[in-house]
Chain A
Amino acid sequence: MKRSSLTPGNWYGLLALLLLICIIAALRIGAVDLTFADIGQILLNGIGLSDNLVDPVSQGLFLQIRLPRVLLCATVGAGLSVSGVLMQALFRNPIVEPGLVGTSAGAAFGAALVFVLGKNINWAFTDALGLFLLPCVAFVFAFGATLLVYRIASMSGKVNVATMILAGIAINALATGGTGFLSYIARDPQARSITFWNLGTFSGADWTQFWLVLPVTAGGILLALRFTKALNVLILGEDEVRHLGYNIDRLKIQVLLLNTLLVAVGTAMVGVISFVGLVVPHLLRLSKTSDNRFLVIASALLGGSLLTLADTVARRLVAPAEFPIGVITAFVGAPVFIWLLVRNARSFQRGGFYA
């Protein structure tokens, strides 16, 4: 495939523009379409620069529902995509994504645990601690699941792809089974939220969620940039990481923790959204380079754009009802994944990709 001759700087500019367009479009389109004039007026009212009258229903819808939802969506998309970059670099394999190695399923199980059993812990939902309990438990289970898959896959010294996929399947099955069990024993409304949530949905997005996810994701992406040099060297091999001055064991555990943080906090809020972490870095690898620094920045922008787009489709397609966004990403992501597998089988038979 012909590689782009645009500089990384140009790429960042174009992708930032794309993100902006997607966000604006997502703000405008939905079950109720707003005009740009309305949006501008509401925003001006919101920051107190004017207070012309707008339809109060539209204003409430926009400020309390649509704006936080779109912003949360862009943030989660960025976090999941950067997490995909980190995982692929760590496993030295382009087909890895958080859904494959147990991170998402682990987080989902942890969150379901809080949903169902948390009701019995009175303080969990009555004070500020409760707000943090969900992402924290999701994080613990996501990390446990990912670490387990990584340990099993790398038992022979280097990551064995077949073992990794099998371990991922096993851990995913275990976590999904656990989540299924919890939804079985749950009283009905809880069960429905778990089912919906296993496919991912932004329908419950609010400002609290956004303000919880934003700092973690932004901080995580900045931190990820610190690891991009060492992860680039990891492309050469583990010994090379050491020869260029990095501690490989510390690097692995730090990247694993960071990745889990990015996935777990988002997943705890909006559920399991698959394939974003796989597809986004891959599109960028194909069109430019696998330099991790480029991938982290560009994936954050492109991931935010694509997930915002997917959510707009999810909201609009069957309005006023809506699709779970996981269905949309799976419908788009699965064919792309298959295309990647076929392409790899054709052009990388000599090793490399599967090394």
Chain B
Amino acid sequence: MPGRFNGEGSMLRAEHLSFRIGPKTLIDDVSLTLAPGEFTMVLGPNGAGKSTLLKLLTGTETPQTGQVWYGDQPLSAIPLPTLARQKAVLSQLLSLPFDLNVTDVVMMGRYPYFDLNPTPLDKQIADDCLDSVGMLPFRDRAFASLSGGEKQKVHLARVLAQLHRQPGDDSTKYLFLDEPISALDIHYQHQILGLVSELATHNMVIFVIVHDINLALQYARTVILMDEGRIVGMGHPDAVLTESAIETVFQLKPYFMTHPETGRRVMIV
């Protein structure tokens, strides 16, 4: 299915973002433009500013200079309830002080859409999203009784439910995932990334932080390589993830090989 592009009007843009805490500059003059349909993955060493950039792009933190635009609106001008129907964020693993059922957690993704009680449509969407991450059999379990990977999948189902379109809604959606597959086994890493890259084609801007360079080579349409609060490379994975760039950023000499079946580049160290 071909991606639907609304052009300029639906891009995610950041202009000259800088963010400091005390004397430390976490993000240093970062600009970027992300179009719907491009599955963007962000890579970089620990402390490169990946999560901080995600926080600036989602409004969790406010940059000291620069501005973020969702389409033609500045982020700070969009009311929070409206924004909650356009944008969803999966943070790194969250621990809950109180125990809830799995369905309770997923249903939070539908909170922006109903007033006091979920509609049958909301319940259906919550179940569908649980199903898409393979967690439907766990729907009545206590969240605390799940493993780390299972919890991650439930949170993922929650943000998918949050961006699930109401009938007739074809506006651009913005999905931000901070290491969404860190606790998953290899089967689910590929299933989830396949699912997310398929979503990208449905008029969605997708920004995912990952650590696995081979997964980026396989799934990303655009790669952002970060180091020391700056973007050091942005574009097609093969153009950005070169031998010299990886050696500079990660201080590790990579070797590239060709996948015997797909012909895609794979990296070993």
Interface segment, B36-44, B87-95, B124-132, B231-239?
B87-95
Do A93 and B97 have beta carbons less than 8 Å apart?
Answer: yes
A355 to B109 Cα, complex, angstroms: 23
Whether A225 is near chain B, meaning CB under 8 Å from some CB there, is yes
Please name 15 pairs of A and B residues whose Cβ atoms are closer than 8 Å in the assembled complex, sorted by A. A93-B97, A94-B97, A229-B108, A242-B80, A243-B87, A243-B88, A244-B84, A245-B84, A245-B112, A246-B80, A285-B99, A290-B98, A290-B99, A352-B97, A355-B97
* Contact yes or no, A225 B88, CB < 8 A: no
B172 at the binding interface (Cβ < 8 Å): no
**Chain A 227-251 per-residue mask, 1 if CB under 8 angstroms from chain B, else 0:** 0010011011101101111110000
Told that A225-B116, A235-B97, A244-B109 touch, could you supply 13 new A-B pairs with CB distance under 8 A?
A88-B98, A232-B111, A235-B96, A236-B96, A239-B89, A244-B108, A244-B162, A245-B111, A247-B80, A289-B100, A290-B100, A352-B96, A352-B97
For the complex, give the distance between the alpha carbons of A291 and B101 in Å: 8
Closest to A246 in B: B80
How distant is B54 from chain A, measured CB to nearest CB, in Å?
11
Residues A235 and B100 in contact, CB atoms below 8 Å apart: yes
User: CB within 8 Å of A: which of B112-145?
Assistant: 112, 116, 142, 144
Report the bound CA distance from A247 to B100 in whole Å.
Answer: 23
Contact with B along A315-355 (1 / 0, CB 8 A): 00000000000000000000000000000000000011101
Q: Interface size bucket, A side?
A: 20 to 34
Residue in chain B with minimal CB distance to A91 = B97
User: In chain B between 169 and 228, which residues have their CB closer than 8 angstroms to a CB of chain A?
Assistant: none
A154 to chain B, nearest CB (A): 14
| A245 to B85 CA separation, bound complex (whole angstroms) | 8
Chain B residues, Cβ within 8 Å of A93 = 97
* Interface residue? B59 (CB, 8 A): yes
Beta-carbon nearest neighbor of A352 in chain B: B95
A355 engages B95 (CB within 8 Å): yes
Q: How far is the CA of A245 from the CA of B82 in the complex (A)?
A: 7
A92 at the A/B interface (Cβ < 8 Å)? yes
Q: How far is the CA of A93 from the CA of B104 in the complex (A)?
A: 19
Residues of chain B within 8 A (CB-CB) of A242 are 59-60, 80
The reply on B18 being an interface residue by CB < 8 A is: no
Q: Which of B80, B91, B104 contacts A232 (CB 8 A)?
A: B104
Considering the chains assembled together, what is the distance between the CA atoms of A243 and B86 in angstroms?
10
How many chain B residues touch A (CB < 8 A): the figure is 31
CA distance A338 to B95 in the complex (A): 24
Within the assembled complex, what's the spacing in Å between the Cα atoms of A243 and B111?
11
What is the CB-to-nearest-CB distance from B177 to chain A, in angstroms, rounded to a whole number? 12
Query: What residues of chain B lie closer than 8 Å to A187, measured between beta carbons?
Result: none
B143 to A: closest C-beta gap in Å: 10
Chain A residues 245 to 268 lying within 8 A of chain B, measured CB to CB, are: 245-247
Counting chain B CB atoms within 10 Å of each CB, which of A93, A225, A245, A355 scores highest? A245
Question: Which residues of B sit under 8 angstroms from A225, Cβ to Cβ?
Answer: 116
Closest to B97 in A: A92
Shortest Cβ distance from residue A298 to the other chain B in the assembled complex, whole angstroms: 15
B81 at the interface (CB under 8 A from A): yes
Given contacts A232-B108, A243-B88, A245-B112, contact A291 B100 (CB under 8 A): yes
Given A229-B111, A239-B60, do A289 and B104 touch, yes or no (CB 8 Å)?
Answer: yes
CB nearest to A236 among chain B residues: B94
Q: How far is the CA of A290 from the CA of B108 in the complex (A)?
A: 13
Contact A240 B80 (CB under 8 A): no
Closest 7 CB pairs of A and B: A245-B84, A290-B98, A245-B81, A243-B89, A92-B97, A245-B80, A245-B112
On chain A, the residues within 8 Å of B97 by CB distance are: 92-94, 235, 352-353, 355
**CA of A71 to CA of B111, assembled, Å:** 36
- A92: chain B residues within 8 A (beta carbon): 97-98
Residue in A94, A236, A353, A355 whose CB lies within 8 Å of B108:
A236
B155 nearest CB neighbor, chain A only: A236
A142-170 interface mask toward B, CB cutoff 8 Å, 1 = contact, 0 = none?
00000000000000000000000000000
* Nearest Cβ on chain A to B55's Cβ, whole angstroms: 8
